[in-house]
Amino acid sequence: MNNYGELWRDLIVDGSVKLFWNKDIFVKYHQQIALEGFEIYSFDCSSWDNTNFHNELSSTLRFPDYYGQNLDAFNDCLSEMEPREKGFVLAFENYDAFAEKQPEIAYHILDIIQTSAWRFLIQNKILMAFVQSNDAKLNFPPLGGMTADWNNEEWLDKNRGL
For the beta carbon of residue 127, count every other beta carbon within 10 angstroms. 24
**Interior CA angle at 88 toward 98 and 123, to 5°?**
120
pTM over 0.85: yes
Whole-number Cα distances in Å, 86 to 36, 106, 128, 133, 146: 8, 26, 11, 26, 23
The secondary structure of 71-113 as a DSSP string is HHHHHHHHHT---SSSEEEEEEESHHHHHHH-HHHHHHHHHHH
Number of domains forming the structure of the chain:
1
Which domain covers residue 120, as residue numbers?
7-160
Residue 138 maps to a domain: yes
Residue 1 maps to a domain: no
- pLDDT of amino acid 143: 85
Q: What gap in Å lies between CA 68 and CA 119, rounded to an integer?
A: 22
| CATH number for position 130 | 3.30.370.10
Residue 147 maps to a domain: yes
What tens digit of pLDDT does each residue of 66-103 get? Answer: 999 999 999 999 999 988 888 999 999 999 999 999 99
Beta bridge partners of 131: 19, 92
Residue 151 maps to a domain: yes
Residue 82 maps to a domain: yes
- pLDDT of amino acid 2: 45
What tens digit of pLDDT does each residue of 113-156 get? Answer: 999 998 888 888 999 999 999 999 999 998 887 677 788 899 89
Residue 2 maps to a domain: no
